[in-house]
Amino acid sequence: MLFFTPGFPEHLCAMAMVCLLDFEAYAEKYLPKIAWDFFAAGADEIRFRPRMLRDVSMLDTRTKILGTEISFPVGIAPTGFHQLACPDGEKSTARAAKAMGTCYIASTYSTCSLEEIAAAAPGGFRWFQLYIHRNRAVSRQLVQQAEALGFQGLVLTADLPYTGKRRNDVRNGFQLPPHMKLKNLEGAFEGNDRSEYGLPPNSLDPSVTWDDIYWLRSLTHLPIIIKGILTKEDAELAVRHGVQGIIVSNHGGRQLDGAPATIDALVEVVEAVRGRVEVYLDGGIRKGSDVLKALALGAKCVFIGRPALWGLAYKQGEEGLQDVLRILHDEFRLSMALAGNLMVTEKESM
């Protein structure tokens, strides 16, 4: 079964891409249905109070996350299986992130190895996202390998003790094609059953608790960022257990039905941590103004998941992803200017 098109026709890649919805429509049209459904699985409105007659002739979009400067407050979230979108997979993602001067969080479930990702973009700013498996030796090895390869942060995903029910994947009988592997986990598990997203069923460890933060700290000097926090109670626990960052995330809506939108959970988390750790947001970013809203509500940076995959599908590699990031950068800068560079918002129920 073919999961990506080796080369889209040039006239299709030359079409005008004005906003991220153009990339979404392109990816939906030209990716095979099984790949599109995997990526796509998944009602308040935030309004600005813009200020006028403020000098916005000089705007600086740069920021720092955990002390490292990025060109603007948009990074690339951890998503798996990038070779479903383009042949070079995560290597293309790493090159695009380096070219655009931002952070890329590489997934445990990458179709390129950590070594390949690091070699593809030497000196790039990268964090590594970890799922803890029942075989703790596998997780230990990955953490230590990431640190040795120069990754600068460890992102623990907290919201996946079990894989959520993803109906389109069930209908499609989703499996990785034979030529595609989870490179970081090759040889890590016994047996031949790889029916759960390229891994044996129930390989994730559902017994993970807050105390495992201490276990991770014993393995690495990397700062630990926890991903999947949606409540003030868990935000407080994260701070108490010594994490350096929190990613407010609902796993792209792919886990618990009825979980809040991340933008709605953001304020609660920001208020709970009171500046003690950095807070980031993952999910729902489609425009530069979305980035500005998240920052106005207290996020230090946002991370994009699906839009990065749409970009990889367009032009089959890093060039399309760079286009996505450029559009977000330009829209974000324009939104800053039109809002008077004063990030004050209010929520209005629709």
Q: Domain ranges for the chain, please list them.
A: 63-162+178-339
pLDDT tens across 218-268, in order? 999 999 999 999 999 999 999 999 999 999 999 877 777 778 999 999 999
- Residue 280, marked binder: no
For 11, the token pair is 């006239």
User: Which stretches within 128-166 are classed as H helix?
Assistant: 136-148
DSSP string, 317-345: SHHHHHHHHHHHHHHHHHHHHHTTT---E
User: Is 82 marked active-site?
Assistant: no
- Residue 68, marked binder: no
The CA-CA-CA angle for residues 212, 216, 218, to 5°, reads 115
Of the listed 11, 179, 221, 251, which one is catalytic? 251
- Residue 251, marked binder: yes
- Residue 333, marked binder: no
Domain 63-162+178-339 annotated CATH 3.40.190.10: no
In the chain, % of residues over pLDDT 70 = 90
pLDDT tens across 73-126, in order? 999 999 999 999 999 999 999 999 999 999 999 999 999 999 999 999 999 999
CB 110 within 8 A of CB 146: no
- Residue 306, marked binder: yes
**Confidence class for position 344, pLDDT limits 50, 70, 90:** very low
